[in-house]
Each structure stands twice: as C-alpha cells, then as structure tokens.
Chain A
Amino acid sequence: MAIDLRDVCFAYPGAPETSILNIKQWTVAGNEHIFVHGASGSGKSTLLNLLSGILSSSGGEVAVLGQRLDKMNAYQRDRFRANHIGYVFQQFNLIPYLGAVDNIQIASQFSKQKKSARLSADIENLLSRLNISRADWHKPSAKLSIGQQQRVAIARALINQPELLIADEPTSALDQPNSDNFMSLLMSLAKEHDITLLFVSHDMSLSRYFDRVDALSEINQSEASSPCL
C-alpha cells in the first residue's frame, strides 16, 4: 500500500476550531496513478502536505510507503520526504538564481540516494528526456519559460528515485500545448520509473491521463466549522 489513511483529522494550528480534513479511510495502491480533484480551498494542498510530512496530522494514522508519518518527529519526516517523495508544485519549484542542473543537484544533496559520479549523468539524461536544451541547463531558472521550469521541476522531483511522486496542480500556470506536453512527459516518466503518482487539480479535463479518479469531497468527511476530536 503506497498510502493508507485511517481516521485522519487535520486542523491548522492557527484555526483549531475548523478541521480542514477528516478522512475515515483512504488507500492508494503501489504504482497507482491517481487523480484527486476538488474545488479551490477544499483542502487538496493540505492533504498533500500531510502525506509528505510537511504538516502533521492532529490525529489518526498516516502511513505512506508503509511508514507511519504520525509516529515520526519533524526531523524524521524531513528525511523521509527527502528520501522517498518527489514534489511538483503549481509554481515556484526552483530556486530562481540557480540553474536547472544546480537545482536538481541540491535536491539530491538532501537524500541518502547515490551521490556518485553517476549523478551528473543522471541529471543530464533527465534534462534531455524532458526536452530541456543543453543551452538552458545553467541559466538562472528564473530566466526559463514557465513550461521549461515545470519540466525541470519533474527532473528535480525524480532525481532521488522516489517511490511516490506528488503533483499539486503543476499545469495550472501552463497554456494548453505546454500542459499537454507536461502531462505526457510526466505520465511516461512515472511509468518508466515505477512510481506511485498522486496528482491533484481542480481541472477535470486532466483526469483522462489517470487510471483512478477520486473526488476529495468523497474522501473528506470534514464538515464546516467542526474541530478535530
């Protein structure tokens, strides 16, 4: 099981009276490519942050890749995220003044994965595979187009060979051709690397790329202004 949530409740510490998420049970099998849709503000990003250990649940069991995040401390969750999870955001995926290669290298810095001589070869393969031309490898990433930046973000997310890849509306800043291009690259790379892919968006048109489609509103039983018990 790649993801297994039981009785998970979450409220932001700043607003403990309002639970954002309340999930009785939700599971995702290994190597599944799952699309979760929900309206803006429905708690999609919050769910992803719980799964990657950026946020910790107020109660319940959060098991990711067979490990209980709710039993880990902040430091262990950081290490777990670095070693096992790749993350692609809607925007601001890259440190703007570093080039593509440096951005990817920094991500590999924090994981215990190989830091061998193969690293730069791996980076080069990924970047070529993602159609980033060699001339753009060392430009400050702020100078790349948004489409290029999002593709570099995939490479950044994949460099540590994660078992789980989380994508939080990664195409919402892209135009249609760029979005299609991004999606097909993402899907084929996820397949090649045998990765569980969890993709959230409010854009239902993207659901056609996935074998499984869930609505957050069905997973999440949280009712407005009810605290976690």
Chain B
Amino acid sequence: MADASPLLECRNVSKAFGAVQALWNVDFEVRPGEVMALVGDNGAGKSTLIKGIAGIYPFDAGQVFVDGEEVHIHGPRDAARLGIEVVYQDLALADNLDIVANMFLGRERTRGAVMLDEPNMERAARETLDSLSVTTVKSVRQTVAGLSGGQRQSVAVAKAVMWNSRIVILDEPTAALGVVQTRQVLNLVRRLAEHDLGVAIISHNLHDVFEVADRITVLRLGQRVALFEREKTTQQEVVHAITAGTLDAVPGMETPDAEAAPTEVEA
C-alpha cells in the first residue's frame, strides 16, 4: 500500500489572505486506502489547504494532481466531479432541512425535469447510513437542527461517501464529540480507507491521529515542516514538529526561528 501512487497530490501550493500567508509552497498527498492525517497548531493553514482542494477558493500558486493528472478545481462541483468530498469543520449542513435533503443538497434526484424524487432519495440516504453502520439516526426525515453532534457528523460523512467519491477529507470530525461518538467516527474513518478510498483527516488530537492514521503531514505557519509514517514515529516527535518544525524563509516575512532541524522525512 505504501508504494501506491497518490490519488491526490498537491505540489507547492500557496495561498495568501491579504498580508497573511496562510499556505506557502505546501506539498500534500493522499494514497488510495490510506488515512493521511493533517496536523498543526491553530492557524497553521490546515483548513485553508483543504478548502483550496475543495475549490472553495483558488490557490494562488502550485499544482493539484488527481490520479497523476493535473487538475484545475474552480468550485465545489469540479471537486465533486473528481471524486473529492469534504466534511467541513463547521459541517455545512442546513439546519432547517431534513437529513435526506442535506445529503442530496445540490444533487437532488428528480422525476421528470423538475420534480424531486423524494422516495428515491430517502431510500438511498437510508441505505448509505446503514452501510456505514450509522444506527443512531432513527428517522432520515428529521431536521438536522435536532441532531446531536455525533449524529450530525455521521450525516456529514455519509453525505460525503454517498457519491462515487474516492477522496474524503474530514476537518476535525471529532472535535466536538464525546468518547463514544469519537470512537464511532474514527471507526467510520477506518472503514472508508478499508474500502480503498483515500482519506485525509485534520485533527488536534494526536491520540486520535495515532489511532487512525497511516501517515501524518505536519503544517506550521503555512508550511509543511514534516511528513511521518505513523509506525516509525512517536507523539513527541510530532509535537515537536508542530511547535518547532523548521521553516523556510518566506519572502517579505521574518523567519521566526532557526532552531535545530530535526524532523524532515522523505517526501
């Protein structure tokens, strides 16, 4: 598995918001059947990276490859067409709509030209939730507003895998969850990888990361400072990279440190 060619690859992507250089020459890759963790401190650029991949906003520079071919993602629809689905930190569910409507949002099935095919969508939503062993959701016709955090997360994940997606990206899927629900979501994440999807997961919880990930990419102040294989590293090593990984000089910016360069690993 480790030698499989990457499903998704970002090369030297950069993104600035005004004066803030949120990403600087970042490389990132996800292989089929692996869980790639993306870690880093608050503001390191994790969400920015995945939003760029998802087409929420364009990268300023750099290339993105899917299956080895360069792609240009201009919007969520482009990403979806390439099989990339994102579960956002803020979930992006419409609270006023029910579970079915949310799972099919923007891709509703219709009978004839305009009329929604509710029975069809309802069945498919139910089947997807069942196939992921999401048993905590009783009715797929309840509005999302009334769901617990874990249920919402499950709906968001189910929404992502509902389509012929090959790459699923999760932004802090367990941040707001209790112990049991965290376990459920992590199991769900592993299950996705077992089905040969490429999974990228952002998390601040290194314990979770070490439990679920195959490899770990560390971002710091918008740069990739390390790439680890889980089996060959330790939590201390990762923590050190997060807090003190070596930075390249960014034009127009002071480089904050010149500490020992400990953790560069194969790219």
Chains A and B belong together in one complex: no
What is A's interface to B at a CB cutoff of 8 Å? none
What is B's interface to A at a CB cutoff of 8 Å? none
